[in-house]
Amino acid sequence: MPAPSPDVPDEEAGGLRGDDRTVTTTTAGHVAGIWIYPVKSLGGTARERVRLAASGPEGDRAWAVVDAGTGEVVRGKHAPALAGIAPSGDPDADARAVAAALGRGVRLQAAEGSAADAAAVHLVSRQAIDRAVTGDVPEGCSADDPRANLVLDLPDGEDERTWVGRTLRIGSAELAVTRTPKHCLGVYAEVRRPGEVSVGDAVLL
């Protein structure tokens, strides 16, 4: 009689079976919220799920506000009122709302090049936001609105800043954590393998 096969951990138990090896994974947290920012510098839109393409979340920062007179892109650091405007999904309506808030003519145009200014995906934990409230926050960063794509809930003692240089698996996507922002919370990541991410998904290291 052949000897029984040894137990092999499955994904839920913390192991991934390769062709001839087992790779152990650790659940480092869960996705607590998903946000996209359809218009650069405007407010965000909450989602229950999103597909992460190589360039970042689909629909994220697809439009930019342009000054009607100069043709230059209007950026949030020069016009902080933009962050308080919720995008409607109608570029013409959004342009009118921005023009009213800024007191000058603007138009919306499709964003050129990469949608994200700094990285494909911005991840921030609730714990980082809590630390920021107590003063542990980079200069120039807002703890009220970190403008993250994925808001995470981490167990006690976990800190996403320790993930730089590591690979995350969330839903069917795989992310490479590249660096911490200079003026914001959390970490930046690039999409190594596109896939769908949902609220409640585990963050696997």
Does 15 map to a domain? Answer: no
**Whole-number pLDDT of residue 24:** 72
Does 142 map to a domain? Answer: yes
Q: Is residue 168 predicted with pLDDT exceeding 50?
A: yes
Regarding whether 51 and 137 lie in a shared domain, the answer is yes
DSSP helix/strand/coil, 128: helix
**Whole-number pLDDT of residue 113:** 60
Regarding whether 81 and 28 lie in a shared domain, the answer is no
Regarding whether 139 and 69 lie in a shared domain, the answer is no
Regarding whether 71 and 47 lie in a shared domain, the answer is no
The full DSSP string for 42-56 is S--EEESEEEEETTE
Q: What ranges in the chain are assigned the alpha helix state H?
A: 91-102, 126-133
Regarding whether 178 and 128 lie in a shared domain, the answer is yes
Query: Of residues 89 and 13, which shows the higher confidence score?
Result: 89
Euclidean distance between CA atoms 91 and 81, whole angstroms: 18
Regarding whether 192 and 92 lie in a shared domain, the answer is no
Closest CA to 177 of 185, 168, 186: 168
State CA 28 to chain mean position distance.
17
Does 14 map to a domain? Answer: no
Location of structure tokens 């689909």: 58
Does 104 map to a domain? Answer: yes
- Phi and psi at 101, nearest 5°, equal -75, -35
**Whole-number pLDDT of residue 13:** 43
pLDDT in tens, 7-16: 434 444 455 4
Regarding whether 125 and 52 lie in a shared domain, the answer is yes
CATH number for 168: 2.40.33.20
**Domain count along the chain:** 2
Does 178 map to a domain? Answer: yes
Q: Is residue 160 predicted with pLDDT exceeding 70?
A: yes
Regarding whether 148 and 50 lie in a shared domain, the answer is yes
pLDDT in tens, 32-68: 999 999 999 999 999 999 999 999 999 999 999 999 9
Regarding whether 97 and 32 lie in a shared domain, the answer is no
Using the 3D structure, point to which of 110, 141, 172 is the last residue of a domain.
Answer: 110
pTM for the full model? 0.82
Using the 3D structure, point to which of 77, 95, 110 is the last residue of a domain.
Answer: 110
Closest CA to 161 of 184, 142, 145, 141: 184
Regarding whether 126 and 28 lie in a shared domain, the answer is yes
Query: What's the domain range around 128?
Result: 23-57+115-204
Regarding whether 158 and 178 lie in a shared domain, the answer is yes
Q: Mean pLDDT score of the chain, rounded to an integer?
A: 86
Q: How confident is the model at residue 164 (pLDDT cuts 50, 70, 90)?
A: very high
Query: Of residues 162 and 133, which shows the higher confidence score?
Result: 162
Regarding whether 124 and 31 lie in a shared domain, the answer is yes
